[in-house]
Amino acid sequence: MPRYSLAAIILHWAIAALLAFQISVGWALEDLGARGFALYQLHKSVGIAILALTLLRIGIRYWKPRPAKLEGGWQGALASTVHGGLYAFMLGAPLTGWALVSTAKVKVPTLIFGIIPLPHLPLPASAHGLAEGGHGLIAWMGIALVLLHVAGALRHHVLMRDGLIWRMIPNRSTALLIGLPALILLGFALGRVILPVAAPVETAPAEQLEAPEPVAPEASTNATEPDNSTVANETVAQVEEPIGPPPAWTVQPGGKIGFAVGNDGQTISGSFAKWTAAIVMDPDHPETADIRVSIDMASASVGDAYQDGMLPGDEFFAVAAHPTATFTAKGAEKTGPNAYRASGRLSLKGVSKPQTIRFTLSGDGATRKVTGTATIARAAFDVGNGDSSGSLAPNVAVTFAFTAKRKP
């Protein structure tokens, strides 16, 4: 039985799996809002890759002609029509997608896989509705065609047993007979699992906890991204696609992180003189927030020379072995008009545990005042484990207040 060329076979299954991934991600895009920025870029990148692979595949079809048709008559004609329809789907889906982003009111730049800028097609804005409707519809037509196509393949394999399927499977390998179609399911499943979760709790990966210096997580920004602030609010409401990643903020000098703990009817209170914070957060979409605070534990002071001398020791912060404490949170939740809660992880004195902080924002625009609190169960971090700590209350109240300015 003559077979398709290996290049044609590889492209057949690769494109099929990528299309499944695209549909899976595409259906989720509109519900994601600003959280979906990176995913929109990925969807557009993979879509254009499919367009390129399809053009390559069509080129190969002429260079290495397909094996002769196995079946004539109306069945053969139907198979050819479905194949034609599938090519139309493979070209039409990316082209309508490209057209819809090219005609949107706010033109969001596309960087294919973060590298190659995708130009906008010179189409009139009036074509937007058609492109958008077509893009959604074409996916459904594609699904219908694929179902027909698979039914045809099954008919040959199960009913007619004519070995047609092996034309698209290398080496008559049974493993590939199962594995290659399974790639399509895998592509669809992958599109589901990479969707950002609404309010992730405890998602900080291990290496973040260890990182002593937080880095501003701005990986997805680049020179071509538009500035949020240049787009008027009413336009934003009409944008179908998020216009940028959530904004990053810099903490202004003069901020404070303080702590207080009861001690035998009195309160010992102090603060950390040195700390840094890398904050990425859109107050309207707190679920995309990325908060990383790093505290220099040697900078702790309670304003009393004797007690300050004890803090770096093993009974309290063990500064020599654990010079920094970090708090990291991915995602925050709105709990009131200006109030938020972020559940993340605190790494302190070599122990890493879930920790929640609460904060409020005041002001608007590019400058916000942040004030917040956290209650830390000190025993969990082995803080205050000796003779001097017998009368210390179990919970330490941490408070923070600072001004943050949005990065341009």
For ligand HEM, which is the closer residue by CB, 168 or 300? 168
Q: Does 212 bind ligand HEM (CB under 6 A)?
A: no
Contact yes or no for 220/41 (Cβ under 8 A): yes
- The nearest distance, CB 297 to ligand HEM, in angstroms, is 47
Footprint of ligand HEM on 221-250 (CB under 6 A): 240-241
Footprint of ligand HEM on 138-167 (CB under 6 A): 139, 146, 149-150, 153, 164-165, 167
Part in contact with ligand HEM (CB under 6 A); list of ranges 79-87, 283-291, 347-355, 365-373: 79-87
Q: Which of 132, 282, 287, 290 binds ligand HEM (CB under 6 A)?
A: 132
Q: Does 94 bind ligand HEM (CB under 6 A)?
A: yes
Footprint of ligand HEM on 164-203 (CB under 6 A): 164-165, 167-168, 181, 184
For ligand HEM, which is the closer residue by CB, 167 or 407? 167
Q: Which of 34, 37, 41, 47 binds ligand HEM (CB under 6 A)?
A: 47
Could you tell me how far CA 175 lies from the centroid of its own chain? 33
Spell out the residues 6+ positions from residue 259 whose beta carbon is closer than 8 angstroms to its own: 269, 270, 271, 272, 300, 396, 397, 398, 399
Beta strands in 149-230 (DSSP E): none
Contact yes or no for 191/20 (Cβ under 8 A): yes
- The nearest distance, CB 165 to ligand HEM, in angstroms, is 5
Number of H helices, E strands in the chain: 8, 14
Q: Does 89 bind ligand HEM (CB under 6 A)?
A: yes
Q: Which helix (H) or strand (E) holds 395?
A: strand 395-406
Part in contact with ligand HEM (CB under 6 A); list of ranges 98-106, 204-212, 276-284, 387-395: 98-106
Among 384, 394, 372, residue whose Cα is nearest residue 348? 384
Q: How far apart are CA 397 and CA 386, in angstroms?
A: 20
Other CB atoms within a 10 A radius of the CB of residue 206 amount to 9
For ligand HEM, which is the closer residue by CB, 32 or 318? 32
Q: What are the tokens at 345?
A: 């992880």
- The nearest distance, CB 325 to ligand HEM, in angstroms, is 42
Q: Left, alpha or beta for 62 (phi > 0: left; psi -120 to 50: alpha)?
A: alpha
